């Protein structure tokens, strides 16, 4: 049973990026003409490690020391040897890096870079949810706040969710906060007793199975690749379901075959670098006029804000040390099991 005990309440979605959003509280003249060069210089001077998720804009990916999915970035943060980490991703990812690096500053170019999944699972409501299921184990998707992680027995990402669920046999299992991922994992594992916090990703949820079916008819040879945060109707039409890294690997593996891709379009950059002639077709949303496969949170980070982060040493992501100590246990457990 996919138990839905709580109403889904998504956090506010930031407005889409405006042209001047990359220039926070500073006149244009404050930025060096060679912004990329200045960032590279500051990175060296500060002995900084730049981690970037695949959903960051292309120039940020090009400047990063490590580009990866959420699991690879958590691992890179755990192994960091630097004076400061600049996390070009969303808040929960930077928070995870901070939890794994007590005493080392973790900066994020825009502190407002949230996530509909993390924001839609407030810790006080989640506490009540957990209390309503005494004896259940708690497996939380990494797209959750530090407080929710601190209430969890284990963390998972989209690339290891099946393995993590399989490692938690026995007691009833709470899975939070991604309902589409939960349904997909349930199908993969045959485990139909997950107790699910019904959150969703605003980016992946907008892909439309109806429009995708029509697009497939126009491209019968295309390989349909989807992230498991998509709705089940979209996943049912996919040839391959995987994390951001998994999607990139699959696309590069078949460079001659067009791919319809149901994930954030930042994934395309890495694919194009490795398979320049590959035909990539973004999966459609319900609204045909909208190509809305950019995460409005991820895209709050810009080169200008990355420059300011390195120059000014902020904004820093901080986690209450008591919460961090608790949250570190299930994160490290995941990294050991992965």
Which 236-265 residues touch ligand 13P, going by CB under 6 A?
243-244
Nearer to ligand 13P, 36 or 166 (CB): 166
CB 70 → ligand 13P: shortest distance, Å? 4
CB 268 → ligand 13P: shortest distance, Å? 14
Question: Binding pattern to ligand 13P, positions 266-305, x when CB under 6 A?
Answer: ----------------------------------------
CA distance 333 to 230: 27
Nearer to ligand 13P, 98 or 117 (CB): 117
**Partners of residue 329 on adjacent β-strands:** none
Q: Establish if 295 lies at the interface with ligand SF4 (CB under 6 A).
A: yes
Nearer to ligand 13P, 136 or 224 (CB): 224
169, 219, 214: which is closest to 189 by C-alpha?
169
* Count of beta carbons in the 10 Å neighbourhood of residue 1: 9
Q: Establish if 117 lies at the interface with ligand SF4 (CB under 6 A).
A: yes
97, 129, 90: which is closest to 112 by C-alpha?
90
Residue from the set 298, 303, 308, 324 that interacts with ligand SF4 by CB under 6 A: 298
Residue from the set 6, 51, 64, 70 that interacts with ligand 13P by CB under 6 A: 70
283, 249, 278: which is closest to 264 by C-alpha?
283
CA distance 95 to 87: 9
Residue from the set 51, 64, 90, 224 that interacts with ligand SF4 by CB under 6 A: 90
Q: What are phi and psi of 14, to 5 degrees?
A: -65, 150
Exposed, middle or buried, 321 (CB in 10 Å: 0-12/13-18/19+)? exposed
Residues that bind ligand SF4 (CB under 6 A): 90, 115-117, 143, 201-203, 229, 264, 295, 297-298
């Amino acid at each position: 049973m996919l138990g839905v005990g709580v109403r889904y309440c998504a956090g506010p979605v930031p407005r889409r990026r405006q042209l001047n959003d990359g220039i926070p509280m500073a006149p244009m003249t404050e930025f060096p003409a060679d912004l990329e060069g200045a960032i590279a210089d500051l990175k060296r001077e500060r002995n900084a490690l730049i981690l970037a998720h695949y959903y960051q804009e292309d120039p940020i990916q090009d400047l990063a020391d490590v580009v990866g999915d959420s699991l690879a970035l958590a691992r890179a943060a755990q192994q960091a040897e630097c004076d400061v980490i600049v996390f070009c991703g969303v808040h929960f990812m930077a928070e995870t890096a901070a939890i794994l690096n007590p005493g080392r500053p973790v900066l994020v170019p825009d502190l407002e870079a949230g996530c509909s999944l993390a924001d839609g699972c407030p810790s006080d409501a989640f506490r009540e949810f957990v209390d309503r299921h005494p004896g259940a184990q708690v497996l939380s998707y990494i797209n959750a706040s530090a407080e929710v992680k601190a209430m969890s027995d284990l963390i998972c990402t989209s690339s290891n969710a099946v393995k993590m669920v399989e490692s938690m046999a026995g007691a009833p299992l709470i899975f939070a906060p991604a309902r589409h991922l939960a349904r997909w994992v349930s199908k993969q594992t045959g485990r139909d007793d997950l107790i699910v916090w019904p959150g969703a990703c605003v980016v992946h949820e907008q892909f439309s199975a109806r429009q995708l079916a029509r697009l497939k008819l126009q491209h019968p040879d295309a390989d349909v690749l989807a992230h498991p945060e998509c709705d089940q109707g979209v996943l049912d039409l996919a040839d391959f379901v995987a994390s951001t890294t998994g999607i990139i690997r699959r696309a590069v593996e078949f460079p001659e075959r067009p791919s319809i891709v149901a994930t954030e379009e930042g994934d395309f950059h890495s694919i194009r670098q490795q398979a320049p002639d590959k035909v990539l077709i973004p999966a459609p949303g319900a609204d045909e006029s909208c190509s809305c496969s950019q995460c409005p949170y991820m895209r709050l980070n810009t080169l200008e804000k990355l420059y300011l982060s390195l120059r000014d040493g902020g904004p820093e992501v901080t986690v209450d040390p008591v919460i961090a100590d608790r949250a570190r246990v299930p994160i490290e457990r995941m990294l050991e099991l992965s």
